[in-house]
Chains A and B, each alone.
Chain A
Amino acid sequence: MRLPEADPAQSPELEAAYAAFRGTRGIVSNVMRSFGHAPAGLAAIAELGRYCRYETGLTELQKELVILITGRGVAYAWHHHAPLGRQAGLTEEQLAAMRDGRTPEGLSETDTALCDYVAAYASLKGVPQPVFARLSALMTPRQITDVNIISGYYLCIAASVVAMEVQPDPPRVLEAAVGFHQGRTGEG
């Protein structure tokens, strides 16, 4: 990381923010540590992340499709979420297609429409009306709003990972995160 790591022992506010994050994810990831010098800001972004992970109206598979497509160019995001995508039911071929920027074969009609939508949304070039119309025929306004929130949140995270030069979390941390998520969602 570009910034020195913030020390929670020196900041009760940071210790509380880390504890809250650990309570919802099982770990404190390096990307969250990169925000550690601004504990209130960290808490705010972590709360938005908690919503994205556990409180939307999307299935586990749909959430991971949004995250993986949005973060496909950022190795850090891929290391964290490809295992969660597998856990949610994605095959290696489907993951490879997403990483190449293609909508995977073999998904349901809704999830195929979702992938096309997120690819357009995360390109920051606008969503073509037919792409939106197809998704809105298959998902509720609540679900589409959740897609927008998740994709935006992971754009935030991806940009910060790149700018702050966040280093990959070690395998044991990734495994702990996947296990925690599995226990919380019952997936896998």
Chain B
Amino acid sequence: MPHLPDALEHGPPESKDVFRKVAASRGFVSNLLRSLGHAPEGLNRYMMLGHYARYATDLTEVQRELVICIVGRGILYAWAHHAPMAVQAGLSEAQMTEIRAGHTPADLPAAERALCDFTFAYGTFKGIPAETWAALLRHFTPRQATDIALTAAYYLAAGSLIIGMDLEIEPPEILAQEVAWQAKPRDATGQVQADPSGSA
């Protein structure tokens, strides 16, 4: 992290408790959330919004990762984290290539195509065309449409942090750990359920 001193080592003592909460939510502390450690309560609120976007929306895994990958398609850090999760959720490499190029994959189901069109438009800050809204609402409830917007919003903020702080991508073994964590069963609040064998 070239810009601020590493908060894990140089942050205030209160940040340690928040980093523990981050690890309980995400399985590890990413460079993204680590970069906020100098403001522990700010990190806590930021992390909680991310927890909602990641684990508590009314979207499927594929739908959520489509939103994230579209918002983060131009950011290497975001792509390194979320492209593997999108593939794990069921997207093909060809579909990921289309998304990264800025196109809605034509072979997705109609609902996911509507979601992609909406999210591409969301990221332009120029408004959503009426036909794009209409298509979205044919396939998604108001709750789900709100969740799509909230997820896109959170990852837009995350993108600003990645770019602004010039965050470094974690090593491959950490990214692999994150992908495995994402697949774990969770309770209604999105927390990973305790492993009965005690090996979690």
Q: How far is the CB of A162 from chain B (nearest CB, A)?
A: 6
Minimum C-beta distance from B37 to chain A (A): 8
Contact with A along B104-141 (1 / 0, CB 8 A): 00000000000000000111011110000100000001
Are A121 and B164 in contact (CB-based, < 8 A)?
yes
- Given the interface pairs A38-B147, A45-B49, A148-B165, the reply to whether A155 lies near B160 with Cβ below 8 Å is yes
Interface residues in A55-107 by Cβ distance below 8 A to B read 55-57, 73
Partner of A146 from B3, B39, B161 at Cβ < 8 Å: B39
Contact B57 A48 (CB under 8 A): no
A82 → chain B closest CB, angstroms: 19
Question: From residue 1 to 55 of chain B, which have CB atoms closer than 8 A to chain A?
Answer: 3-5, 7, 10-12, 35-39, 41-43, 45-46, 48-49, 51-53
User: Is B184 engaged at the interface, CB distance under 8 Å to the other chain?
Assistant: no
- B166 interface hit (Cβ, 8 Å): yes
Q: List 20 A-B contacts (CB under 8 A).
A: A2-B133, A37-B142, A37-B143, A38-B150, A45-B49, A47-B48, A48-B45, A48-B48, A56-B42, A127-B3, A141-B4, A141-B10, A145-B43, A149-B36, A151-B164, A155-B156, A155-B160, A156-B156, A158-B125, A162-B126
Are B7 and A141 in touch, CB under 8 angstroms? yes
Bound state CA distance, A2 and B130, in angstroms? 9
Residue of A nearest to B123 (CB): A159
Tell me which residues across on chain A come within 8 A of B154, comparing CB atoms: 156
Q: A2-B133, A35-B146, A148-B164 are in contact. List 5 more A-B contacts (CB 8 A).
A: A41-B56, A41-B57, A121-B164, A148-B35, A162-B127
